[in-house]
Amino acid sequence: MSLPVPHPDALAASQELATLIAAEVAQHAGLLPFSRFMELALYAPRLGYYSGGAAKLGKDGDFTTAPEMSPLFGATVARVAADIIAQTAPQLLEFGAGTGRLARDVLTALAELGVTVERYAIVELSGELRARQQEALRDFPQVVWLDGFPETFDGVILGNEVLDAMPVHLVVKEADGWREQCVTVRDGRFAFEAAAAAPALLAQIERQIPGHDSLPEGYVTEVHGTACGFMATLGALLAKGRGAAILFDYGFPAHEYYHEDRAAGTLMCHYRHHAHADPFYLPGLQDITAHVDFTAMALAAHGAGVEVLAYMSQASFLLAGGIGDLLLRTDPADVKAYLPQAGAVQRLLSPAEMGELFKVLVVGRQVTLAPAMAAADRAHKL
């Protein structure tokens, strides 16, 4: 791979993390579940990708998210949130708030709509991102930071590209059944080696992968135990009160995710705006993600006591939320102002960009979505 060379200090931190991971591999008799490798690479204290200090988002980071592209994304989310707040409570809770751009745009748009937000809580695991959020949101006194789930909650929960960053188990179909892809150290380098899958993992494979017995030998894919656990906790939180969670991410329903032709899985890495498939490259300096199995997420939330209110593409959500009307608030004749906004909206909506790959899952309790949003619902495809 031809990728940008890291700063010497960053390279030293990566090497320190690699040494830490290698020691844990040794502690596990030379075979560490990939889920644990991914957890350490992303979240090891001080050294992990999200717990370290490297810039992650925007033009100087590793990738750009939808809220960074246009304030109209957050303004559209605010319209949907306002309708839910009117039925619940003037509170929002965001997981993984990135640079704080979504929070800022949502709060600004809600204020313009005349909606007073009493509390906007953010759960953020990255110290570096939390610091950026605190700077970006210093003019919004209702914003607070939490270290985990609150005890109770009424209102709107937001999560943009949160589920894809949760550790996954890698599994491979072999002649005698499913095995777990583990990480070993071979000739001084990390490498994959298949090992017997634990009964709990085999049970999850049976639950999560349609037609798991008929997939071809050599088929590699992911199962999402951590994300399912997150959705179950989220569902249990909402089941205690009234509200809805709106989750944006890239992924598929199960019947598309585990298609026979997707035989190498969906694991992907992002380093300085370069996408590649090597999770062992510079641990701690690159993002490691997997696409989301939205069927599994919906089932986990439903099992915890909440309804699946809607599932649709990002394009459908934004159009139903009125992003077109928001764009036209800028006069098309004002080319200098209009064209950049129109270009950003095109990226958010286009099937060739984010419009179809990114999906939106809405789960909740005692909430009714607006007619346009309900009409766009494709939950039957889950």
Angle at 302 between CA 122 and CA 126, to 5 degrees: 20
How many beta carbons lie within 10 A of that of residue 55, not counting itself?
14
CA end-to-end span of the chain, whole Å?
A: 37
Most confident option among 59-73, 122-136, 295-309: 295-309
Is there a contact between 51 and 43 (Cβ–Cβ < 8 Å)?
yes
pLDDT exceeds cutoff 90 at 51: no
d(C-alpha 111, C-alpha 43), whole Å: 35
pLDDT exceeds cutoff 90 at 325: yes
Residues in the chain: 382
Position 1 confidence tier, pLDDT thresholds 50, 70, 90: low
Residue 266 carries which DSSP code? -
Question: What are the CA-CA distances from residue 68 to residues 122, 239, 286, 320 (Å)?
Answer: 17, 32, 19, 21
d(C-alpha 96, C-alpha 160), whole Å: 7
pLDDT exceeds cutoff 90 at 379: yes
**Tell me, what's the pLDDT at 63?**
62
* CATH architecture of the region 66-166+226-258+291-381: 3-Layer(aba) Sandwich (3.40)
How many beta carbons lie within 10 A of that of residue 311, not counting itself?
25
Residue 36 amino acid letter = R
106-123 mean pLDDT = 98
pLDDT exceeds cutoff 70 at 164: yes
Q: What average pLDDT is seen over the chain?
A: 94
Is there a contact between 117 and 92 (Cβ–Cβ < 8 Å)?
yes
227-243 mean pLDDT = 97
319-330 mean pLDDT = 97
Residue 216 amino acid letter = P
Question: What are the CA-CA distances from residue 215 to residues 91, 172, 180 (Å)?
Answer: 45, 10, 15
26-30 mean pLDDT = 97
**Tell me, what's the pLDDT at 288?**
96
**Tell me, what's the pLDDT at 125?**
84
Burial pattern 178-188, b for ≥16 Cβ within 10 A else e, equals bbbbbbbbeee
d(C-alpha 89, C-alpha 240), whole Å: 14
**Tell me, what's the pLDDT at 318?**
98
pTM, whole model, 2 decimals?
A: 0.95
Q: What is the pLDDT of residues 130-144, one digit of tens each?
A: 999 999 999 999 999
**Tell me, what's the pLDDT at 112?**
97
Q: What is the pLDDT of residues 238-284, one digit of tens each?
A: 999 999 999 999 999 999 999 999 999 999 999 887 889 999 999 99
Burial class (CB in 10 A: 0-12, 13-18, 19+), 170: buried
| Widest pairwise Cα distance in the chain | 67
Distance of CA 23 to the CA centre of its chain: 29
Q: What's the CA dihedral at 43, 44, 47, 49 to 10 degrees?
A: -20
288-312 mean pLDDT = 98
Give me the residue spans of the domains in the chain: 66-166+226-258+291-381
**Tell me, what's the pLDDT at 62?**
55
pLDDT exceeds cutoff 60 at 72: yes
The token duo for 333 is 């004749």
**Tell me, what's the pLDDT at 54?**
57
159-186 mean pLDDT = 97
Is there a contact between 30 and 184 (Cβ–Cβ < 8 Å)?
yes
The token duo for 242 is 């009234």
